[in-house]
Amino acid sequence: MKKFWNNANSRLKAGLIITSFFIILGFGVYYIPHINPFSYNTYPAKLNPSWSHLLGTTSMGQDIFWLLIEAIHNSLMIGLIVALIGTVVGVFVGLLAGFSGGVLDRVLTVVTDTFVVIPSLPILVLMTALMKGTSTVIMMALVLAMFAWAWPSRQIRSLALSIKERDFIHTAWFSGEGTIQIVVTEILPFALTWSLSNFMNATLAAIASESSLAVLGLSPANLISLGNMIQWARARNAIFARQWFWIGSPIVATVLLFVGLFLLITGYNDYLSMKRGR
């Protein structure tokens, strides 16, 4: 661990620090007992920040700090679920296409390429508009995952194609290992290091899509997410009332979270290529 930290570049370090900060907020502080921040008129409205309300309260008397913690938790959860589904499906489809070859490969490649090029937001808009009012967090995650598998699948396929011809695969083949065993023991480890960086990327993309849909009013109405929190503040005229902590805290949190995750991704990629000696 200490060796890793000494070898890490400054971006990876900064990314790790910011991301862990958010993980602590979203999965640690979140579990400290607190009153459901969603319910109205729990506290006096429009309070300024103080020790009892770190970020003040909204004009509906909600505690902004706990609203923010809940939002970070839910946004991270959606991001992680979508990234998990997208990466698993993407790796599976990519390996299948790369190793099967022939007609199956061609069909899978065309479908994958279509999903890479197709503008996702309009289709997400259509689906969530149809679910308006009835959608749940799980449905939301599933819908977002539909567009999360194509890019990793495409990358994994080309990775599989390049690995397939390497010597150690031939060696494994001639020493009598089956195709599935080769894929699991020889190729998956390769795919996994790559998948980690894709996983973080997909998390970022999913949180961004969810918050974009939230601004359109298409995220589940009872879901406290970063996007919804911004949208509620906008809809209740927090900007005109100059309630900067209300509109500002989810914006600052989103900016920090995204920059942190992005630093983590690029830092991790640099770290990997440095380890490979390039």
As given in the structure block, the two tokens for residue 216 are 């359109």
Residue given tokens 């770190």 in the structure block: 54
Q: Which is nearer to another protein, 31 or 240 (CB)?
A: 240
* Residue 261 contacts residue 200 (beta carbons within 8 Å): yes
Determine if 113 is a binding residue for another protein (CB under 8 A).
Answer: yes
Handedness of CA 17, 19, 25, 28 (dihedral sign): negative
Q: Cβ 188 to another protein, closest distance in Å?
A: 27
Q: What is the DSSP letter of 1?
A: -
Among 32, 117, 180, 235, binds another protein (CB under 8 A): 117
Q: What angle do CA 232, 202, 106 make, to 5 degrees?
A: 130
Residues 6+ apart with CB under 8 A from 97: 104, 105, 108, 109, 112, 153, 157, 160
Q: Which of 26, 247, 249, 268 binds another protein (CB under 8 A)?
A: 247
- Minimum distance from residue 243 beta carbon to another protein (Å): 12
Helix (H, G, I), strand (E, B) or coil at 127: helix
144 lies in the binding site for another protein (CB under 8 A):
no
| Shortest reach from residue 127's CB to another protein, in Å | 6
CA 184 to chain centre: 26
Q: Please count the residues of this chain forming the interface with another protein, following the rule CB under 8 A.
A: 43
- What do you get for the CA distance between the two ends of the chain, in Å? 22
1-9, 62-70, 85-93, 261-269 -> range binding another protein (CB under 8 A): 261-269
Interactions with another protein, residue window 183-222 (CB under 8 A): 204, 208, 211-212, 215-218
Place of tokens 């004009």: 59
Q: Which residue has the tokens 């197709």?
A: 118
Minimum distance between the CB of residue 134 and another protein, rounded to whole angstroms? Answer: 7
State in angstroms the smallest separation of the CB of 218 from another protein: 7
Q: Does 110 bind another protein (CB under 8 A)?
A: yes
For residues 59 and 120, which CB has a smaller minimum distance to another protein in the complex?
120
Which residue ranges make up the site for another protein (CB under 8 A)? 11, 110-111, 113-114, 116-123, 125-127, 129-132, 134, 204, 208, 211-212, 215-218, 230, 234, 239-240, 247, 251, 254-255, 258-259, 261-263, 266
